[in-house]
Chains A and B, each alone.
Chain A
Amino acid sequence: MILLLFSGGMDFLHGKIINHFRGQWQSKLALIMSISINLFVLGFFKYGNFLAENLNLFLGDFFPTHSFSLPIGISFYTFQTLSYTIDVYRNKVSVQKSYLSFQLYVSMFPQLVAGPIVRYGDIDTMFDLRSTTVDDFYEGAFRFICGLGKKVLLANYAYQVYSDVLVGNLSKITVSQGWLGLLMYTYFIYFDFSGYSDMAIGLGRIFGFRYPENFSYPYFSLSITDFWRRWHISLGNFFRDYVYIPLKGNREHQIRNIAVVWFLTGLWHGANWNFIIWGRYFGVLLILEKYFLAEIRSRVPVFLRWLGTFLFVMIGWGIFSFDEILKLNQETMNFHHLMSMFEFFQILFGFSDRPVFDYLSLLLIFQKSFFILLCFLCSTPLFCHFIQKTKNNFYGYFVQISFTAALTFLSIVSLLSDTYNVFLYFKF
């Protein structure tokens, strides 16, 4: 909380200085200070331990590590306030005169914890002029409940299956269990993240704000480039506008620029080697796609392009979640862990002595088959398409209202069921 107020206060001040001394050296200094302070705060809390532990490998226990927990939303609000000062400096947005309005922007709870990254320019006109109509409330509430349903009814359960099948089980999984676990993580992360974004967008709408979209059916992408245009759009746009283009984007050193952006993208997601490898993995895929696969891709049937993209994305999630699969619990990955990652992919691709199926795998796959189908269907635009089609007739409203009521009820039931803990060891 204190950090949030500090971050907001500092950048409000920096914005004022930049605006007041526009075109003078003080303006540049304020921008540099804003960038440095934000990156230092983020670096200290999020990457401090990671950096210290890795440097200590060479220097003994030279750097102390801290035990602070990561402040909530730090990755999001530092980027938001950064975008504000940079945009004020670039004269793309007007400086905010009211500290309260600025702090409202920084601490807006719907999107504070899990995005989307709302840039100041996205909503600057809405602080004073926003209004909430019946339409806004209706659409916002519907969007919120859809997000809640995604999170509670799909993401939580997908995570439960992933966790049950894969987490801590590397020594015994079969090939099919490995893929089932990975598929569940793939759906978990989408429904979790996009569910939060839907809830944020819906709540924002209820309060009169229009937040940018953050996801656009990413699992129906036909290439990795396409995937990253549909996945966490606000982050992609942030890195494009504040890193890639300033590095001269496509015009000079494109490969280097892509490499830098994807190194940072990986690092932004977490302070561990798996995230860095994950960023690098997508960086390499994007470079390959851009320079070598563009022509071949156009000759491949659409279904195979979709399937190929989906598989590469799934593999990416295998790298991304590997610290969790190993149950590392914030521990920094070492060489031994990286070798385990290699073994994990050996298992997935059948280069190990693990069977493709065992009895348990067959049972699990059958047992979860409806859920897998449901996840697949919910990740397509089918449902949204249906809502749009029936939007303006009575039956459409009826369906939408019934659906919202059912989702609300089922979400409450499911949330409560997570608290149902049969305690075998009490009073026995």
Chain B
Amino acid sequence: MALAFDLDGPTGDAMLSGAIWNRPEYFTLGGYGPWRGLDRILRLLESHGIRATFFTPAWVVENWPDACRRLVAAGHEIAHHGYRHEKFWDLSLDRQRDVIELSQDIFQRELGTRAVGFRTPSGDWRVQTPALLVELGFEYSSSLRGDDRPYFHADALAGWEPLVEIPARSEMDDYASLAFTTDPNWPSGGDRIASYDLTLDNWRREFDGYHDEGLCLTTIFHPKVVGTPGRVALLDRLITHMKAPGDVWFATCQSVSSWWRTNQGVTTGESTS
């Protein structure tokens, strides 16, 4: 079980367009994540003795350095998620490289570490992106949706260092059930915030299925969404449920990636298996 959070804060489309600088209430909605949600989640993880991965735009590290240092000091993994949550689909390879190098420099300067994990903001990248990630020293990505266990990027078999993919699925994305704003409308059609109880029930059922089949589950949870007091109480119930069987390996994405490399070997895993 690789619990993972995207610590986006106020980064994203409205910051990329500049609109957020005339939207203080929208900025604060995002800022709630690193300001309140993160510490609440860190307390929860500590109480359960679990380490997680935080995919964090480097702009958030620049502006909430102390919170991010607390995260790292507690033994969690901090990983790459753009500088201002750029959509890699929109960037040339050169710009992708710039964003990654700028962000790694900020991680090094503020946190004394560099990311070995990568999750592309909002999904799509360019077909050449995996090769760029390998060139820039990344060990794994958690960007795609198409499997329920880790695998090696197929192109990596053609002579690169292996790049592990730890796929995450929308069933475990808190945006799909709990995120809500108006102006801009999210969801775009104005759909409702889902029932907390039914959301927890969905998450438990997914976990149960992964556990039955011996798979690898990760999450796309956002501290600004799932970090409210009541939703962290849900996460507490979810983690309690997941710990009950007693034979679940709770690990960071980096640990899962390392294990997969060491024990699976590049020739045994294929993206279509």
The answer to whether A binds B is: no
